[in-house]
Every structure is written in structure tokens, then in C-alpha cells.
């Protein structure tokens, strides 16, 4: 499997703070791989994702994304904690927003939006305003918008943290279905270790000050996985002990 992302010796400082949030961080990610990044508050999980997304600039080090240039898609798609749907746009228009600037015909754009709305199981809600959607539907809308640009790498910043536990479980399962169908590489930020073990191929643990990777744990549990099993719980506890 080919590498899609290489991070080498990455460091990040907030403003003029002399102490880095993380330093000397190196990580390699394979195409199609699902990795989850966990760690305590303030270790820079979301900052790392923002650096990979191009939304923040590291103080030192390199981030290399190995993808082919294509003006009909984007290299990265980002899903934020709150879905970030624009309230003045209906769901269909929100999902289509990221397609601006891509070399696609109007028909191709419609087909893209239809495809991802169906994938996210939102096709019947396409003409609703964001305030008419549940929290889970808003999050699925954010995922659909990120998928519409056909990213090589899908970046997800604690996307399920704001919903209740039942909705969270449903969204996790729907995300896994989408991942299995699209085979996207996914970097998923979460503070929930059980969520990380349930979803990911690998769990990356950030800890320390400045933070670095203290554990890179491959999750070899067969899929589909089952919440609450002794094996999953033990693995989650072992990872928690590394924090």
C-alpha cells in the first residue's frame, strides 16, 4: 500500500509562546488507512489536523501529501466538530459549496451532490434548511460536503463530540460504511479512546509537553467490531494507560 501522507519532525508554537505544543512529531499514513489520533486536552490533536489541512502553519518540519494533481477534486476534505453548515443555504447548496472552483460542469456538480447525499443517507432532506435538521443530520451534511470534493484524505476533527451517545454510535457506523465504500484515507481526531479503537486501523497517542507520539497502536480486531467486548475494552484500556 502506497504512502499518502508523510509528516517529518513537525513542531508547532502558538503565537510567540517559546514552548511548542508538539515537537519532533513524525507520522506516516497509507492510502485507504483509517487512523485515529487521541490524547489529553492541549496536546495539539486538532492543531496537528489543521496543519495537515493547510489551515495552520507548523513552526518546523515537513508535511508531504502524495496525491496526483487533479482540477476536478481536492487533495483534502475537512469535517469539523459542529458540521459548519451555513444557515442561509439549504442542505444541497451547503454540500455543493466546496465544488466552487473545481473544473466540473453544472451536471457533474449535481451528480456529485446527489451521490454524496445518498451516501450519507440525506437525499430526502436535500431541500431542508440547517435549522430543520437534527444534530446528527447536520454532521452527516458536513461529511457529505467534505466527500463531494472527492478528497484523497478525509480529515475529521472530533466530528461526533457534540451529539448524544446513541446518535454518536449511529454516526460511527455510518462513517464506517462510507469509509468501506469509498476507501478514503481518514485521519480522525477524538478524545474518546473506545471510539478510536472501534473505528480505526491504527490509534496514535499524543502525550507529553511538548507532545509527541508515545504509542502507535495497530488495531487488529476483525471487522465488523462490536462495542463492549472484552477484547476491545482491554485494548482501549491499554491505550489509555499510555496517556
Give the pLDDT confidence of 40-58 residue by residue, as tens digits.
Answer: 999 999 999 999 999 999 9
> End of a domain among 150, 172, 200?
150
Task: Using the predicted structure, report yes or no on whether residue 162 has a pLDDT greater than 90.
Answer: no
Examine residue 190 and state whether it is found in any structural domain, yes or no. yes
Examine residue 73 and state whether it is found in any structural domain, yes or no. no
> End of a domain among 90, 118, 150?
150
For the chain, how many structural domains are there in total?
2
Q: Which of 124, 181, 173 is nearest to 147 (CA)?
A: 181
Examine residue 72 and state whether it is found in any structural domain, yes or no. no
pTM across the whole model: 0.96
Query: Residue 1: which pLDDT band, with cuts at 50, 70 and 90?
Result: low
Output b/e per residue, 23-59; b: 16+ Cβ within 10 A. bebebebebbbbbbbbbeeebbbbbbbbbbbeeeebe
Task: Using the predicted structure, report yes or no on whether residue 82 has a pLDDT greater than 90.
Answer: no
162 plus 137 within the same structural domain: no
133 plus 219 within the same structural domain: no
* pLDDT, position 55: 95
Q: Tell me the mean pLDDT in the region 95-109.
A: 95
129 plus 16 within the same structural domain: no
Q: Give percent of the chain with pLDDT exceeding 90.
A: 92
* pLDDT, position 2: 80
- Would you state the cell numbers that stand for residue 26, as one nine-digit string? 513524525
> End of a domain among 150, 180, 203?
150
Query: pLDDT digits over 174-228, tens only?
Result: 999 999 999 999 999 999 999 999 999 999 999 999 999 999 999 999 999 999 8
87 plus 172 within the same structural domain: no
159 plus 239 within the same structural domain: yes
101 plus 47 within the same structural domain: no
87 plus 59 within the same structural domain: no
* pLDDT, position 109: 97
Domain span holding position 98:
82-150
Q: Which of 137, 134, 172 is nearest to 156 (CA)?
A: 172
60 plus 163 within the same structural domain: yes
- Residue 224: which H helix or E strand, with range? none
Examine residue 58 and state whether it is found in any structural domain, yes or no. yes
Q: Are 156 and 200 contacting, i.e. CB atoms less than 8 angstroms apart? A: no
157 plus 239 within the same structural domain: yes
Q: Tell me the mean pLDDT in the region 226-238.
A: 94
Amino acid at each position: 500500500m502506497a504512502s499518502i501522507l508523510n509528516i517529518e519532525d513537525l513542531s508547532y508554537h502558538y503565537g510567540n509562546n517559546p514552548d511548542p505544543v508538539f515537537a519532533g512529531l513524525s507520522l506516516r499514513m497509507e492510502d485507504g488507512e483509517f487512523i485515529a489520533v487521541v490524547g489529553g486536552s492541549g496536546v495539539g490533536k486538532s492543531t496537528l489536523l489543521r496543519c495537515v489541512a493547510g489551515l495552520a502553519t507548523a513552526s518546523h518540519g515537513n508535511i508531504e501529501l502524495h496525491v496526483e494533481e487533479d482540477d476536478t477534486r481536492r487533495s483534502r476534505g475537512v469535517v469539523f466538530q459542529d458540521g459548519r453548515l451555513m444557515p442561509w443555504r439549504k442542505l444541497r447548496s451547503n454540500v455543493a459549496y466546496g465544488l466552487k472552483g473545481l473544473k466540473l460542469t453544472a451536471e457533474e456538480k449535481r451528480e456529485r451532490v446527489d451521490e454524496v447525499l445518498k451516501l450519507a443517507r440525506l437525499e430526502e432532506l436535500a431541500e431542508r434548511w440547517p435549522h430543520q435538521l437534527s444534530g446528527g443530520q447536520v454532521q452527516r451534511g458536513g461529511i457529505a460536503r467534505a466527500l463531494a470534493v472527492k478528497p484523497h484524505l478525509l480529515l475529521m476533527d472530533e466530528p461526533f463530540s457534540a451529539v448524544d451517545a446513541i446518535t454518536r454510535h449511529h454516526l460511527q457506523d455510518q462513517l464506517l460504511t462510507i469509509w468501506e465504500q469509498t476507501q478514503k484515507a481518514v485521519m480522525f481526531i477524538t478524545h474518546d479512546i473506545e471510539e478510536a479503537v472501534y473505528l480505526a486501523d491504527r490509534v496514535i497517542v499524543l502525550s507529553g509537553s511538548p507532545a509527541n507520539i508515545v504509542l502507535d497502536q495497530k488495531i487488529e480486531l476483525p471487522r465488523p467490531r462490536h462495542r463492549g467486548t472484552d477484547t476491545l475494552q482491554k485494548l482501549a484500556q491499554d491505550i489509555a494507560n499510555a496517556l
